[in-house]
Structure 1
Amino acid sequence: MKKLKFFGKIMFVINSLAAFLLLISYILPFVPPKSFASLSVLSLSVPLLILLNIFFFIYWLLQVKKQMLLSLVVLALGWGYLGSLYKFSSSKKIEDPNNMSVMSYNVRLFNHFQWLPSKTVKEDIVKLIRDENPDIICLQEYRTKDPITLDGYFGFNTTFNNTVKRGQALFSKFPIVNSGSLEFPNTSNNAIFVDVVKEKDTIRVYNLHLQSSGVNTDVDKLKKESSEQLFKQVGTTFKEQQAQVELFLKHKSKCKYKTIVTGDFNNTAYSYIYKKIKGDNLIDTFEEAGNGFGKTYDFKFFPLRIDFILADKSFTVNGFKTFEQKLSDHYPIKTTIKLN
């Protein structure tokens, strides 16, 4: 560092901080938010930290400086993280008569409060779903008092129901033989599930919507909030998410069927929340067959993937697609899988 000029020294200090934070983030999936909520907040910034370290590696490499080794080593230690951020191979799509497709989409109340200027958001979402024609559809922030009609589907919680929390809906081309709602206390968020029959197999499908932080995603407004406020708010949210995941896992442990878990986790693939849900028996369908960043949430400057479709390891993933239509603050995702 002695041979660096003043600007170079400043850059290396920033580089060192970014490398240190990324290194710390590698332990986040093993740290329960209830034990260390402030540290868990760092999981949201992992995509940015990865991109920063890639930038610094290239920056020093072009200057043939040994400082490039810092980010290179840290990135190499977390090589698996890169697969969660970006898929370098093009999406595979394998046609098979036994394929089934699953779509997950946070529809943001079909633009009920007019966040988007378009007056046809609901109609456009319905058209997208009909065009894609998935076998199973999992919707979050769905308005049961303003339902959509999809011919050829069985549905659960798709119309107003006083006995089940509104917000999530499930549509299936396969017969639904069992269904229910897993209520999370003191929140409007919840999880619903259905058991569907495909030929001789019964498959459990969960649709989750975990607690939202409520943090403003408008960058200009976000700057006005103090870092202390943000850390406290997000840390509290992650504690609530942990409690919700514990309830979900307890429920899931009693299921004897092959399982698909979908939904808006409101957290990233670098978090304790994601790791606990995924466990040892589920695979991330994006990591198996996705392409690019797989961005599912509309946030400026760096990609956030907080919506997931996880499938039992008994499934083979034959395709994955992230859509770019801006009809919500989330982007829909769809996977094609086959039960072995």
Structure 2
Amino acid sequence: MRFIIIPIFFISILLFFSVHISPANWDYTGLLSLLIPVFVLLNLFLLALLLFGRIKLIIFPIMALLIGWKFFLVTFQWNVPDTETEGFSLLSYNVMLFNNNWESGREDRILNSIQWAKENPSDIKCFQEFYQDFTTPSRNALKIIGNDGEYEHSFLTVDGNPRKRSYGMAIFSRFPIINSGKVFDNRKNNGAMFADLIIRQDTIRIYNTHLESMNIRAADLDNLQGIKNQYRGTIRKLKQGIQMRATQTEILKEHIKNSPHPVILAGDFNDLPYSYTYFSLREILENGFEQMGRGFGFTYNRVLFFLRIDNIFFNQVLKVLQFNTHREVDYSDHYPISAVFAFPE
């Protein structure tokens, strides 16, 4: 038994520390971290098994679980929201181009998704994969969501014709936007932008980000045959995406560290909570789900439903009062997430 338990212990420790090694330096760390949930469950199983057997060996799964306790915190939470304190709200939503990339005949979903984005009451709205069409009034998302001037906006065009049809990222705000800019983009579908807002005599910098996509079609992994046919390409795409996100994360962190204002970072990170991306940002920022989330907080709305890849991070200068995953909103392949913040007294 010890020849199984001890190797599992050391492999677990290796995996648990792999999230602190950048895949840009050693690309396999990103793939190794995907095994963390498996080994957490394996240590739980060994712990239960050894309670009725060789009690001396139980120290190994106990130590592994204590060292890996942070992975429980990023996986599941059951917090009680603060509804007594008044604050300002922020929405983050990958809108999947408002369904404009879907098959024809889905005009209702296009219009309904734009309408939902308009009617959501959040004070600040961050959209990824934002589609803008100046040629069609019913799809002019900047005008519709801006609600005739109720929201100021900043739009980062990633691709397309910025005067006709384009897509990218957008930040809408009920508060004045005094500055905005680009952190990076890769001219495909991903990028990061920021906007500085005046909120009750304070200035807050809002980052909206969409890190490198995995470029893996969930439909290809929907059955055993699909997995067999696609596994080599899937591993290659995972590896490339992990490396690119590590590089983008370093650019983003450096920009955040140089921010003259408190920061909220929202978006689609395309990485699990067991990744270098997540823990690297967690070194300098708090996470809204960890502080005020409930349940598992899964944000992906497709076959791989157990993924939480959308996040809202923030400086300790701020206090998060509420955090919600809007699983009732299914227009996109991502669920919207939102949080309410306040300035500590």
TM-score bracket, normalised by the shorter chain, equals 0.7 to 0.9
Aligned to 2:136: none
TM-score scaled to structure 2, two decimals? 0.82
Deviation at 1:257, TM superposition (A): 0.7
Deviation at 1:121, TM superposition (A): 2.8
Map 1:108-257 to 2 at 5 A.
108-114=96-102, 120-145=108-133, 146-148=139-141, 149-150=144-145, 151=147, 152-157=150-155, 161=162, 166-185=167-186, 187-218=188-219, 219=221, 220=223, 221-226=226-231, 228-257=232-261
Aligned to 2:76: 86
Q: Quick check: 1:93–1:320 contact (8 Å CA) kept in 2?
A: no
Q: Quick check: 2:15–2:35 contact (8 Å CA) kept in 1?
A: no
Q: Quick check: 2:212–2:270 contact (8 Å CA) kept in 1?
A: yes
CA RMSD of aligned residues (A): 3.2
Q: Secondary structure at the match of 1:238?
A: helix
Instruction: Report the AA paired with residue 317 of structure 1.
Output: V
Mapped to 2, the partners of 1:322 and 1:116 lie a distance apart of: 29
Map 1:93-104 to 2 at 5 A.
93-97=82-86, 99-104=87-92
Instruction: Report the AA paired with residue 193 of structure 1.
Output: F
Size of the aligned set, in residue pairs, is 325
Aligned to 1:106: 94
Deviation string 1:256-280 (CA, Å, 9 cap, x unpaired) is 0111111111112222222333333
Q: Secondary structure at the match of 2:230?
A: coil
Q: Secondary structure at the match of 2:74?
A: helix
Mapped to 2, the partners of 1:120 and 1:262 lie a distance apart of: 28
Instruction: Report the AA paired with residue 213 of structure 1.
Output: M
Map 1:30-69 to 2 at 5 A.
30-54=20-44, 57-58=47-48, 60=49, 66=55
Deviation string 1:175-220 (CA, Å, 9 cap, x unpaired) is 1111112233464311111111112111110101111121232322
User: Are 1:337 and 2:338 an aligned pair?
Assistant: no
Change (3 A) 1:306 1:17: farther
Aligned to 2:322: 319
Aligned to 1:267: 271
Q: Which ranges of structure 2 fall in alignment gaps of 5 or more residues?
A: 134-138
Mapped to 1, the partners of 2:334 and 2:29 lie a distance apart of: 26
Q: Quick check: 1:92–1:318 contact (8 Å CA) kept in 2?
A: yes
Mapped to 1, the partners of 2:334 and 2:10 lie a distance apart of: 31
Instruction: Report the AA paired with residue 177 of structure 2.
Output: I
Change (3 A) 1:198 1:186: closer
Q: Quick check: 1:174–1:198 contact (8 Å CA) kept in 2?
A: yes
Q: Quick check: 1:156–1:171 contact (8 Å CA) kept in 2?
A: yes
TM-score scaled to structure 1, two decimals? 0.83
Q: Quick check: 2:94–2:127 contact (8 Å CA) kept in 1?
A: yes
Identity among equivalent pairs (%): 29
Q: Which of 287, 292, 314 lines up with 1:289 in the alignment?
A: 292
**Greater CA drift, 30-39 or 99-108:** 30-39
Q: Secondary structure at the match of 1:222?
A: helix
Mapped to 2, the partners of 1:52 and 1:301 lie a distance apart of: 21
Change (3 A) 1:115 1:65: farther
Mapped to 2, the partners of 1:33 and 1:111 lie a distance apart of: 33
Deviation at 1:71, TM superposition (A): 4.1
Deviation at 1:299, TM superposition (A): 5.4
Mapped to 1, the partners of 2:96 and 2:7 lie a distance apart of: 36
Instruction: Report the AA paired with residue 124 of structure 2.
Output: I
Change (3 A) 1:57 1:170: same
Aligned to 1:9: none
Q: Secondary structure at the match of 2:90?
A: strand
Mapped to 1, the partners of 2:172 and 2:287 lie a distance apart of: 21
Q: Secondary structure at the match of 1:297?
A: coil
Deviation at 1:94, TM superposition (A): 2.6
Change (3 A) 1:186 1:332: closer
Mapped to 2, the partners of 1:339 and 1:289 lie a distance apart of: 16
Deviation at 1:238, TM superposition (A): 1.8
Q: Secondary structure at the match of 2:128?
A: strand
Change (3 A) 1:125 1:302: closer
Q: Secondary structure at the match of 2:192?
A: strand
**Greater CA drift, 67-76 or 216-225:** 67-76
Q: Quick check: 1:43–1:268 contact (8 Å CA) kept in 2?
A: no
Change (3 A) 1:273 1:74: same
Deviation at 1:62, TM superposition (A): 8.5
